[in-house]
Amino acid sequence: MRGIIKRFPGVVALDNVGFDVRRGEVHALLGENGAGKSTLMKILAGVYEADAGEIIFKGRRVSYHTPKQAQVAGITTIHQELNQIPLLTVTENIYLGSEIMRGPLVHWREMHKGARALLERLHLDIDPRVLVGSLGVGQQQMVEVAKALHHRSDIIIMDEPTAALSLREIDDLFTIIRDLRAAGVAIIYISHHLNEAFEIADRLTILRDGRHIATRAAADLTMDELIRLMVGRRLDEQFPKETAPRGKELLRVEGLTQGDRLRNISFSVHAGEVLGIAGLVGAGRTELLRAIFGADPIDAGAVYVDGGRVPIRSPRDAIRHGIVLLPEDRKQQGLVMGMAVRENVTLAVLRALTRGPLIDRRRERALVGQYIQRIQIKVADPENLVSSLSGGNQQKIVLSKWMATEPRVLLFDEPTRGIDVGAKVEIYRLINQFVAGGGAVIMVSSELPEVIGMSDRIMVIHEGTVTGFVGRAEATQETLLEYATGHRRDEGHP
């Protein structure tokens, strides 16, 4: 791709961008949200047409006006939100739009045979006759790879492919990517997880503000250099943790039990403290936060606020006692994507903004403006749909919604998932501000460096039980993994 220019009303999304990918190469495309990665790939995949520039594919100048044209030519995109029909079988999804026909009838036997061969090529033990909706997210993603192979793709674009995968599924995906690379397939890999890019990519291309900044061999870059290229400024610390004075106990949980998912969990958190929660996928971390918030019922246990036992049977009870939850999936559980920024920010405090049957719009606008400025939400107009914003700004809106309730304890589930490196630092600084003001944060994260970098103490969970507590100074990834896998337990923990 040479000299690509793409304009949208009021903004130049791509300004003379060049980019190339070679046969048998994994090429990571990196940059903050809004850098132009998605726009560039949509032009390559036929979703958008460039205003200027050219695409050279297999030595010829080409132009694709639809994704179908690009796919037929050999360019396939595997989106973060998978493009599949859950109620169709694996075979039907792979062959959708390219069914093998015998006269007027679909040749099911030949299609099942072909689908099985594709799955076996990827070392996948999946029955092609099962419904795609019955598979886990990791297996569904592998079906998308099989579909790309069926279309004999020369280039596969993977957009945030590990966002919903477990560590084991990520390892499986990387094995498949390496096999594809060995077979001569070119992979364009888009991810916010920079450590993954270093692990799997041969070369890295960095975009910033719609411009090409650099293309380097992965082996020739350090993490610090990559971050500096991405954000255009030096980040003195990847995790700018500030230690706040430790105050009184704000929240205590005793003997919390929920079936086999959570068993006899006890801990406390104090004012000015960030308590990190580490564990493998399925350990019970999200379940614990939801139980404390009253989103899911518990079988036994008690929650104490300011030393007094409080009944929390619903999120409304939790909010009344100053406990709020920023969920793992902000789009599905934290925001109303079809509503404006203004409406999302004030959603939890509408009762306080009403006068009789009407909302006091002047007070509402003042409150929204206050949080846009305080939390530095980048939005041109509060009436813009929240769906139009970047992941980092969406997360800030969830945080604004709850800060408007004046909480004392933030339950933060995967606070920076799907957020670029610059926006991550902004979220960390907001966490610092909250605890410096006397609040407490309980933070779940699958990124161990994040847990270590931003926590004062870390509680580790394995299969629904607490295996140990680790102080910030003693925490290492190796130590946390020993606790998370159950190979190490503190005394007093079963």
Q: How do residues 234-247 score in pLDDT, each as one tens digit?
A: 544 578 888 899 99
CB atoms within 10 A of CB 491: 5
Convert the pLDDT of each residue in 153-210 to its tens digit.
Answer: 999 999 888 877 777 888 888 999 999 999 999 999 998 788 889 999 999 999 988 9
CB atoms within 10 A of CB 16: 14
Helix spans in 309-420 (H): 315-320, 341-345, 361-374, 391-403
Both tokens assigned to 412: 């933060």
**Of the given ranges (57-66, 72-81, 453-462), which has the lowest mean pLDDT?**
72-81
Rounded to the nearest 10°, the torsion over CA 46, 51, 56, 60 is 90
Of 353 and 439, the structure prediction assigns the larger pLDDT to: 439
What Rg, from alpha-carbon coordinates, does the chain have?
A: 24
Of 3 and 124, the structure prediction assigns the larger pLDDT to: 3
Integer angstrom CA distances of residue 73 from 67, 95, 152, 376? 10, 17, 9, 44
The backbone region for 258, taken as left when phi is positive above 0, alpha when psi lies in -120 to 50, beta otherwise, is: beta
* Same topology between domain 2-231 and domain 235-322+407-494: yes
CB atoms within 10 A of CB 207: 24
CATH 3.40.50.300 fits 235-322+407-494, yes or no: yes
Of 316, 374, 313, which is closest to residue 345 (Cα–Cα)? 374
What pLDDT, on a 0 to 100 scale, did the predictor assign at position 141? 85
DSSP 8-state assignment for residue 340 = B
Of 427, 377, 397, which is closest to residue 239 (Cα–Cα)? 427
What pLDDT, on a 0 to 100 scale, did the predictor assign at position 254? 97
Check pLDDT > 50 for residue 444.
Answer: yes
What is the CA 127 to chain-centroid distance, rounded?
29
Phi and psi dihedrals of 339, rounded to 5?
-110, 165
Length of the chain: 494
Separation between Cα atoms, residue 50 and residue 63, nearest integer Å = 9
What pLDDT, on a 0 to 100 scale, did the predictor assign at position 264? 95
Check pLDDT > 50 for residue 337.
Answer: yes
| pTM, entire model | 0.62
Separation between Cα atoms, residue 326 and residue 328, nearest integer Å = 7
DSSP 8-state assignment for residue 491 = T
What does 218-229 look like in DSSP terms, one character per residue?
GGG--HHHHHHH
Separation between Cα atoms, residue 145 and residue 139, nearest integer Å = 10
Both tokens assigned to 353: 């903004």
Check pLDDT > 60 for residue 233.
Answer: no
Convert the pLDDT of each residue in 24-52 to its tens digit.
Answer: 999 999 987 678 898 999 999 999 999 99
Helix spans in 151-193 (H): 167-182
- Please report, for the chain, the start and end positions of each structural domain, with discontinuous segments joined by +: 2-231, 235-322+407-494, 340-404
Convert the pLDDT of each residue in 395-410 to its tens digit.
Answer: 899 989 999 899 999 9
Of 487, 334, 338, 478, which is closest to residue 418 (Cα–Cα)? 334
Q: Which residues pair with 89 in a beta bridge?
A: 131
What pLDDT, on a 0 to 100 scale, did the predictor assign at position 237? 58
Convert the pLDDT of each residue in 135-158 to its tens digit.
Answer: 887 888 889 889 888 988 999 999
Share of the chain above pLDDT 90, in %: 57
Both tokens assigned to 40: 């560039």
What pLDDT, on a 0 to 100 scale, did the predictor assign at position 448? 86
Crossing angle of helices 421-436/223-231, nearest 10°?
Answer: 90
Convert the pLDDT of each residue in 245-292 to its tens digit.
Answer: 999 999 999 999 999 899 999 999 999 999 999 998 789 999 999 999
Mean pLDDT, the chain, integer: 90
186-190/155-159 β-pairing: parallel
What is the CA 149 to chain-centroid distance, rounded?
26
Both tokens assigned to 102: 């015998």
Separation between Cα atoms, residue 147 and residue 175, nearest integer Å = 17
Separation between Cα atoms, residue 479 and residue 453, nearest integer Å = 14
Contacts with 358 (C-beta within 8 Å, 6 or more apart), sequence order: none
Given the candidates 3.30.565.10, 3.40.50.300, 3.60.9.10, 3.40.190.10, the CATH classification of the domain at 2-231 is 3.40.50.300
Of 380, 369, 315, which is closest to residue 345 (Cα–Cα)? 369
DSSP 8-state assignment for residue 333 = I
Contacts with 353 (C-beta within 8 Å, 6 or more apart), sequence order: 346, 359, 360, 363, 364, 367
Quick one: pLDDT band at residue 492, thresholds 50, 70, 90?
A: low
What pLDDT, on a 0 to 100 scale, did the predictor assign at position 494? 44
